[in-house]
Amino acid sequence: MVSGLQLSSLTPTPSRTTQNEIKWLEWMKQQDDPFPALKVFSENYHYFSINQAVSFSRLLTVVNPYDRESLVFMADMLHQELGGGQQDRVHSVIFERFAKAVGVDLSKLPLAADQVVEGVRWYACELDKGFGGSLPCALATYQFVEGSGVDTYAPLLDILRDMGIAEDDLEFFTLHAEVEIDHTAIAANIVKRARETFTPEENQIFDTQKWLLQRAWEQFWGDILLACQRETSSLVAN
């Protein structure tokens, strides 16, 4: 856990929960058998989870090597994402436990880029481009990813618990619902310091990247919803 920062002094970032994520959660609650949809979600989300960790690592190459304060926090987050030195604690491995519990055949994972829905592929591509882009672009991406985690995991966890999934299999979500709160506050602090030095043009790049990611994130959930609906109705028809 990252320490040494006065979290209480930080301003929370605004909510990034998308309309489509809310629609997906509402639709999932109404399903008599949500497991076919959860399988579709898990296969797609796994692709995102695997790729975003690689993309995140690009951030370390963009930050000024003399900005040790930011680098220490970012490296610590990447270390956590990659299991803190333990292979079975890598976050995508923890996610695979959930995927298996909802019926995913793990030998099919990771899906190839052309097997995931377009919104997931688009968002993953924008993250990769963003984390490896200019400093304003990379920091906007970093802040967006951390904030979207806070908004996503808590409501999703509530619904998964209501579906009766065992607590052990929900570890990916319980872990993130907790750690992303600290991570978001840390990201906000790093971004605030950096933005004080940005030119108006750099601030514009930052804002544009946030706007772009919000659009991609909206489509991410919209396309997951459509894929889940398609899967569920094809099973009913057969």
Q: How far apart are CA 31 and CA 139, in angstroms?
A: 38
Give the residue with the Cβ less far from Fe ion, 124 or 205: 124
Give the residue with the Cβ less far from Fe ion, 81 or 223: 81
Q: How far is the CB of 182 from Fe ion (least distance, A)?
A: 13
Q: Is 46 in the site for Fe ion (CB under 5 A)?
A: no
Cβ-closest position to Fe ion: 91
Piece in contact with Fe ion (CB under 5 A), picked from 74-82, 101-109, 163-171, 182-190: 74-82
The size of the interface with Fe ion (CB under 5 A), counted in residues, is 2
Annotate 61-75 with b (16+ C-beta within 10 A) or e (fewer).
ebbeeeeeebbebbe
Piece in contact with Fe ion (CB under 5 A), picked from 90-98, 140-148, 186-194, 218-226: 90-98
Residue 64: which residues within 8 A CB-CB, separation 6 or more? 135
What the block records as the tokens of 147 is 């904030």
Q: How far is the CB of 128 from Fe ion (least distance, A)?
A: 16
Give the residue with the Cβ less far from Fe ion, 152 or 209: 152
> Do the beta carbons of residue 12 and residue 185 sit within 8 Å?
yes
Give the residue with the Cβ less far from Fe ion, 95 or 122: 95
| Residue 17 per-residue DSSP state | -
Residues 100-119 that bind Fe ion (CB under 5 A): none
Q: How far is the CB of 81 from Fe ion (least distance, A)?
A: 5
The position carrying tokens 């990659």 is 82
Q: Is 16 in the site for Fe ion (CB under 5 A)?
A: no
Site string for Fe ion, 142-171 (x = CB under 5 A): ------------------------------
Q: What is the dihedral of CA 220, 222, 223, 228, to 10 degrees?
A: 120
Q: Look at residues 103, 102, 119, 101 and name the one whose alpha carbon lies nearest to residue 47.
A: 119
Alpha-carbon distances, residue 76 vs 26, 79, 234 (angstroms): 35, 5, 44
What the block records as the tokens of 15 is 């909510």
What the block records as the tokens of 17 is 């929960």
Piece in contact with Fe ion (CB under 5 A), picked from 3-11, 81-89, 127-135, 185-193: 81-89
Q: Is 91 in the site for Fe ion (CB under 5 A)?
A: yes
Q: Footprint of Fe ion on this chain (CB under 5 A)?
A: 81, 91
